[in-house]
Amino acid sequence: MIQEQKKLQAELDKTRADKLELEKDVGQKTIMIQILTETNLQLNGTISQQQDELRRREDVERQLVAANEVISKLNESKARCQKDLETASDYLLEQEQKTYNANKTSLELLKQLKDAEVEIETLKNYIIELKQRIAVYIPIKDDPVDKKLAEFINNYPERSKLKIMFMRESEGVYQFGTKRVYVRVDKDKINSKPPPLPDLAVRRT
């Protein structure tokens, strides 16, 4: 009888230990689920922002294509005007009796040519402006560190060298290529540990 009680007690103790282990495992998995859920929400937000930016870029690219088509037509018109102007000049030399009409035609063609050149220059400036509007990095709206980092990246003088983009993990924590970088703003200056770029880190933190 005593042996059976000891055996039952041992089984009960084992069952309690197994229960505690299971409860511990469930608690750990619950925490992991919460972390993964938060990460998933952040990733969904980032994806949504990138999709919006992609749509804006596509719209800018369509405008660039339309502007280039207009410039092409204006260049053709300019070439035709130049050809007509040359023809008019030759005609003046050969037909002196029609000097008045030929001079009038030349003035009109010159005006059209100047107008075309002004319009081409305006469109070129417009294309430059559109290209400048394409952002390299879009910050999180309520994150001052992210906004400051975006301001630095988007105004970087040699943007072609920024081949590795920053990926925000959490407030002040970024993935830069294979490195994790910690960024903060002190007195309106960006500090990072370690610095991913020489110009980014004003000083090591």
pLDDT at 45: 85
Strands (E), the chain: 166-170, 173-176, 179-186, 189-193
pTM: 0.32
Q: Which of 178, 156, 176, 160 is nearest to 168 (CA)?
A: 176
Q: Which residue has the higher pLDDT, 138 or 145?
A: 145
Domain ranges of the chain: 2-132, 144-193
pLDDT at 164: 55
Instruction: Give SS3 for 98.
Output: helix
Give dist(CA 63, CA 60) in Å, integer: 5
The tokens describing 38, both together, are: 């938060």
What amino acid is encoded at 10 in this protein? Answer: A
pLDDT at 129: 61
Give dist(CA 114, CA 98) in Å, integer: 24
pLDDT at 196: 59
- Percentage of the chain lying above the pLDDT 90 cut: 1
Q: Is 93 exposed, middle or buried (0-12, 13-18, 19+ CB in 10 A)?
A: exposed
pLDDT at 195: 64
Asked if residue 204 has pLDDT above 50, the reply is: no
Asked if residue 66 has pLDDT above 50, the reply is: yes
Q: CATH code for 144-193?
A: 3.30.920.20
pLDDT tens digits, 70-82: 999 989 988 888 8
pLDDT at 191: 83
Highest mean pLDDT of the ranges 55-69, 87-101, 141-155: 55-69
